[in-house]
Amino acid sequence: MARAEPPPAEEPKAAAEEASELAAMAATTGVTSPELLVDSLGEYLRAWWTRIRAGESGALPVLGGLVLIVVIFQVQQSAFLSAKNLVNLFILAALFVLFGLSEIFALLLSEIDLSIGYVAGVGAFIIAELIAPPNNWPWLPAVILGLLATAFLGLLQGLLITRFRLPSFVVTLGGYLFFQGLIIYLADIDSGAVGGVVRVPSTSVVFDLVNDNMSPLVGWIALVVVVALFAAVSLSRAARRRSQGLSAPPISIVVLTVAASAVAGVVLVVVCNVNRGVLVPLNGVPWVIPFVLLVVLAASFMLNRTRLGRYIYAIGANPEAARRAGINVAMVRTLTFVICAFTAGLAGLVYESWLGSVSVGISGGTYILFAVAAAVIGGTSLYGGRGKAYHALLGGLVIGAVDNGLGLLGVTAAGQDMATALVLIAAVTVDSVLRRRGTQTV
Amino acid sequence: MRRPWARDGGGHPDTATQAGVPSAPVDGAPLLSLRGLSKGFGPVQALTRVDLDLPAGQITALAGDNGAGKSVTIKTISGLWEPDGGQMVWEGHPVVLRSPKEAEGLGITTIYQDLALCDNLDIVQNMFLGHERSRRGVLDEASMELTARRTLEELHVTTVRSIRQPVASLSGGQRQSVAVAKAVMSHAKLVIMDEPTAALGVTQTRMVLDLIKRLSSQGVAVLVVSHNLNDVFAMADRIAILHLGRSVASGPITDFDPQVVVDYMTTGSSTRAGSGHHDGEG
């Protein structure tokens, strides 16, 4: 930290005043991000602990909650932690992660998108109808067209919200109903849709996304490559920042982070590589898992390392400040709704791959609630400006675990709905309470 | 150096009628001069032939009671409102500002009381908001952090513990410092500050006053709107006083004392003897 050099003549007095000023500052400043100032691991952990007590708890309560959920279900039903069930859980969670990520974009702006469940449905229908008979398109143009269509729906809603200054709540509620109708219309005009259901051909790449696995060896190689890359990038960045005199986390923290992700990766690959087939051997990491991780990584990069991401955070916290800084607020908000809908399209892709078909009966409403729940449970604030892409991973896992676990225990649909709702309300309450504590300590 | 900017005010009931007469400064033109600026909103005449000189490297305090026209004056200078009459002379040339963007283009930055900071972004991110540096589409955080740190060091802002902490965790004075540093980084020639010390404690106020002085010592013209006469006398080089939308007195701060300023602010004139501000020492 740079310090002013007071003139020598008045040094003692000035220094004393400076010290008292510093103390006054420290007293009024709260305790956010003290990790940035420390060098040793011990100091880092202490700083981290003070921050947790100040209400900036980060991912800790979610991880704690996840462990609790897992323990409860495992005690009730020993099959919960079996490899077969865990892989099912991961696939289910992958869907919720994408829905949650989609909603996070809207929440960061302090907006909400209630239409994403049916936006995903529209995208899924378009893709499925194009690759299924009688159209029989190759998968890539079909997927691109389906995703472009969902992005276009996001653009329409975004323009309505920003140009006509309509509340996103109302516009996307309109979208919810409209797109539900659009799905029925798409099924009606398609001769290939029987009874409102379009099958995804089991030979297509779209079907394979969830239903095909990496071979165990490929899984291990991919893991080693990814962890090595992650370690190299984060260590070299930390070292470079230190050498430039910039703030950087201690090397030990970087090493711990890399080690923790390596352990998580090893557990994932080990679980997925266990044979979970009944008659024929079935093992390996489903392709959907690296797919979703890649999407989250891309979203994270966009939010943290590009202008667009920076502006989304700025607008979410203080639109007036963003406007005065010369940011085209309307354009950034519109683009965010496009990205939100596009991500919903990806969720639609995973959805139809998982089920092997898509039907007019898609429960888009439930998926919207799960999306908001996953985002908020993961740690994204409903009040705008606070949230990370990885929150979707955490929240998606929690919702996936609850949904899967309750199903495993044979809880009725009524019970499942109510339990999920309670988890959502609990998460929102935690968000609200933490927010209040956070503002008090500042 | 003689600085005959102070206009006749003492005890003269018709002060405002003389306000329109420009008095050319001796030591070079001021950075910005307002001459006979008027602005009305329907039936309300907010400004009547207001004159104001803002020399580079000096702090000018704009004083006046509520409704005297301080806000309208700064909003006119920052391009939010176009004046109905009068002239603005920037670096010797008449200018017309139609939007805040045009004012910014000239080098006029206004720091409003709300400071326009994003609580969730850190100090560096706030200082570069809207002007981020990037390489091939990726934000160049290292370069931004180094520049931000250098700017803060130049301003002797030393009380922030890390420039990577969110501004939500900063004290009022520190937030003010970030806003000022942001203005400095935009290469502002004129910085307008609206009540920079309002709602600050004693230590924080002192810190902000020092900061403003350092800003002006870098050659920046500073216009400070303040209600607090202690602060005005602690930092300002010059003072301009408005009363009911008219300029009633202006000049070096040494020509005034608080009691005289209060007289001007409340009644538009002062009858106190020995205040030494008549005709700017001349």
Residue with tokens 């729940």: A373
Q: Give the per-residue pLDDT at A31.
A: 35
Say yes or no for a CB contact (<8 Å) between B118 and A385. yes
Tokens of A414: 């009524």
Say yes or no for a CB contact (<8 Å) between A21 and B162. no
Q: In angstroms, rounded to a whole number, what is the distance separating the alpha carbons of residues B256 and A206? A: 81
The string of pLDDT tens digits covering residues A219-262 is 999 999 999 999 999 999 888 888 887 877 788 888 998 999 99
- At a CB cut-off of 8 Å and minimum separation 6, what does A334 contact? A155, A158, A159, A161, A162
Residue A268 predicted with pLDDT over 60: yes
Q: Is B134 on the interface with A (CB under 8 A)?
A: yes
| Lowest pLDDT segment from A349-353, B6-10, B88-92 | B6-10
Q: Give the per-residue pLDDT at A417.
A: 80
Q: Give the per-residue pLDDT at B278.
A: 43
Sheet strands (E) in B181-258: 190-194, 221-225, 238-243, 246-252
Q: In angstroms, rounded to a whole number, what is the distance separating the alpha carbons of residues A411 and A271? A: 26
Residue A203 predicted with pLDDT over 50: yes
pLDDT band of residue B23 (cuts 50, 70, 90) is very low
Chain A: residue nearest B101 by CA? A326
Q: Which residues of B touch A244 (CB under 8 A)?
A: 142, 146
Q: Which residues of A touch B168 (CB under 8 A)?
A: 32, 438, 442
| Lowest pLDDT segment from A47-61, A264-278, B13-27 | B13-27
The string of pLDDT tens digits covering residues B160-214 is 778 888 888 888 888 988 998 888 888 889 999 998 888 788 888 888 899 999 9
Number of residues assigned to chain B: 282
8 A C-beta contact, residue B73 and residue B108: no
Say yes or no for a CB contact (<8 Å) between B129 and A310. yes
Q: Give the per-residue pLDDT at A51.
A: 66
- Residue pairs spanning A and B at CB distance below 8 A: 122
Q: Give the per-residue pLDDT at A33.
A: 43
Residue A162 predicted with pLDDT over 70: yes
pLDDT band of residue A435 (cuts 50, 70, 90) is low
Say yes or no for a CB contact (<8 Å) between B119 and A244. no
pLDDT band of residue A52 (cuts 50, 70, 90) is low
Q: Give the minimum alpha-carbon distance from A323 to chain B in angstroms, rounded to a whole number.
A: 9
Out of A314, A324, A326, name the one closest to residue B121 (CB): A314
Q: Give the minimum alpha-carbon distance from A320 to chain B in angstroms, rounded to a whole number.
A: 7
Q: Write the Ramachandran bin of B91: left for phi over 0, alpha for psi from -120 to 50, otherwise beta.
A: left
Say yes or no for a CB contact (<8 Å) between A29 and B168. no
Residue A279 predicted with pLDDT over 80: yes
- What domains, with CATH codes, occur in chain B? 1-107+220-270+276-280 (3.40.50.300)
Which residues 176-215 on chain B approach chain A with CB closer than 8 angstroms?
A: 201, 203-204, 207
Which residues 83-102 on chain B approach chain A with CB closer than 8 angstroms?
A: 100-101
Q: Give the per-residue pLDDT at A139.
A: 95
Q: Give the minimum alpha-carbon distance from A351 to chain B in angstroms, rounded to a whole number.
A: 32
Domain boundaries, chain A: 55-212+292-429, 213-285
Residue A141 predicted with pLDDT over 60: yes
Say yes or no for a CB contact (<8 Å) between A317 and B130. no
Three-point CA angle A93, A98, A103, nearest 5°: 120
Say yes or no for a CB contact (<8 Å) between A20 and B166. no
Say yes or no for a CB contact (<8 Å) between B145 and A31. no
Q: Give the minimum alpha-carbon distance from B145 to chain A in angstroms, rounded to a whole number.
A: 7
pLDDT band of residue A300 (cuts 50, 70, 90) is very high
Tokens of B275: 């205040």
Angle between helices B141-154 and B172-185 (to 10 degrees): 110
Q: In angstroms, rounded to a whole number, what is the distance separating the alpha carbons of residues A375 and A294? A: 18
Out of B100, B121, B137, name the one closest to residue A317 (CB): B121
**More confident: A438 or A135:** A135
* DSSP conformation letters of A102-124: HHHHHHHTT---S-HHHHHHHHH
Q: What percent of chain B has pLDDT over 70?
A: 86
The string of pLDDT tens digits covering residues A15-47 is 444 444 444 444 333 333 444 445 566 777 777
Q: In angstroms, rounded to a whole number, what is the distance separating the alpha carbons of residues A266 and A284? A: 12
Mean model confidence pLDDT for chain B: 82
Out of A4, A37, A306, name the one closest to residue B158 (CB): A4
Out of A32, A246, A327, name the one closest to residue B165 (CB): A32
What type of residue sits at position B187?
H
Angle between helices A60-76 and A390-408 (to 10 degrees): 20
Say yes or no for a CB contact (<8 Å) between B169 and A29. yes
Q: Give the per-residue pLDDT at B17.
A: 36
8 A C-beta contact, residue A4 and residue B160: no
Q: Give the minimum alpha-carbon distance from B71 to chain A in angstroms, rounded to a whole number.
A: 18
Listed in sequence order, the DSSP H helices in B49-195 are 70-77, 100-106, 123-127, 141-154, 172-185
Q: Give the minimum alpha-carbon distance from A381 to chain B in angstroms, rounded to a whole number.
A: 12
Give the ipTM: 0.82
Out of B152, B156, B169, name the one closest to residue A30 (CB): B169
Calculate mean pLDDT across residues B234-255: 92
Say yes or no for a CB contact (<8 Å) between A25 and B149. no
**More confident: A434 or A302:** A302
Q: Give the per-residue pLDDT at A241.
A: 85
> Which of B156, B165, B174 is the best substitution to test chain A (most A C-beta atoms within 10 A)?
B165
Query: What's the pTM?
Result: 0.84
Q: In angstroms, rounded to a whole number, what is the distance separating the alpha carbons of residues B223 and B194? A: 9
Q: What percent of chain B has pLDDT over 90?
A: 36
> Rounded to 5, what percent of chain A is helix, strand, coil?
75, 0, 25
Q: Give the per-residue pLDDT at B10.
A: 38
Nearest by Cα to B224 from B186, B253, B259, B185 = B253
Say yes or no for a CB contact (<8 Å) between A307 and B203. no
Regarding the domain delimited by A55-212+292-429, which CATH topology (the fold level of the hierarchy) does it fall under? ABC transporter involved in vitamin B12 uptake, BtuC (1.10.3470)
Q: Give the minimum alpha-carbon distance from B110 to chain A in angstroms, rounded to a whole number.
A: 10
Say yes or no for a CB contact (<8 Å) between A326 and B130. yes
Mean model confidence pLDDT for chain A: 86
Q: Give the per-residue pLDDT at A430.
A: 76
Q: Which residues of B touch A327 (CB under 8 A)?
A: 129-130
Q: Give the per-residue pLDDT at A437.
A: 62
Q: Give the per-residue pLDDT at A38.
A: 53
Chain B: residue nearest A441 by CA? B169
Residue A323 predicted with pLDDT over 70: yes
Q: Give the per-residue pLDDT at B24.
A: 40
Q: Give the per-residue pLDDT at B66.
A: 86
Calculate mean pLDDT across residues B33-54: 90
Which residues 144-163 on chain B approach chain A with CB closer than 8 angstroms?
A: 145-146, 149, 152-153, 156, 158-159, 161-163
Q: Which residues of A touch B101 (CB under 8 A)?
A: 326
Q: Which residues of B touch A322 (CB under 8 A)?
A: 118, 129-130
Q: In angstroms, rounded to a whole number, what is the distance separating the alpha carbons of residues B90 and B108? A: 10
Say yes or no for a CB contact (<8 Å) between A244 and B146. yes
Residue B222 predicted with pLDDT over 70: yes
Nearest by Cα to A343 from A151, A183, A109 = A151
Q: Give the per-residue pLDDT at A17.
A: 43
